Amino acid sequence: MDCPSCDKSLNCETLHGQAIDRCPACDGIWLDESELWAVVRQAGSTTPPAMAAKPCADGLSCPRCNGSLAPMNYAHDSGVMINRCMSCRGIWLQSGQLERLARYRAGTPAIRSLENAMAAEIRKSDRWQSARRVLRSRLLSGIVVGFILLIAWLATGYSYGVLRLASGLLFPLVCIWFPDAMGNLTRRRITHPSHPDFLALAAWLVLLTVGVVLLIRWL
């Protein structure tokens, strides 16, 4: 990756047990959002007493996904403005900002409590995003549908019935593959659109129910 500030190639390093990318020219640091809190916590005990930090820059592009780097007030009220990618959520720290973050965190127990709460929220969000990826997985749902059709063929040996079953499973499969679009279609019939994740979950329940029934019948 290239430095968003000076376009130099970033070097991979390990900082306080976390993998980061550092610019050899401007000393900027790129790291994942979940890694920021660990680095700041570990940096607190080794922070120099004073270091001038560059102000938060505008108009920078993410070195990972080329998205927009937007200014963010660390811990909401720290006054330390850092850059975060709006797409991949990566963090860009300019020279001296890490030290300012560490000194801010070491300020009061209330600040440390707030930061720990934010870190816990990020971990919770990461777990939920992983669950959503599984819930909307096209590959996994396609494998499950293929397995259901195979069981139906083995249980009945009736090709026309298998084709009818395949056409019946098409709707829940579409709800898993395109949950956002299917949720918006309900605007015409009800006041609010259906939540896409609920639609995908309901579709999974239909697929699993059909699969269990056919498996029991085959066995």
> Is the whole model's pTM more than 0.85, yes or no?
no
Work out the percent of the chain whose per-residue pLDDT is above 70.
79
Q: What does the pLDDT look like over 52-98, one tens digit per residue?
A: 455 556 778 888 888 888 888 887 777 788 888 888 888 898 888 88
pLDDT above 50 (res 190): no
- Give yes or no for residue 105 having a pLDDT over 60: yes
Q: Which residues of 35-67 are buried (b: 16+ CB within 10 A; e: fewer)?
A: bbbbbbbebbeebeeeeebeebeeebebbbeeb
Q: What is residue 49's predicted lDDT score, i.e. its pLDDT? A: 44
Q: Which of 114-128, 174-188, 201-215 has the lowest mean pLDDT?
A: 114-128
Distance CA(17)–CA(178), nearest Å, equals 40
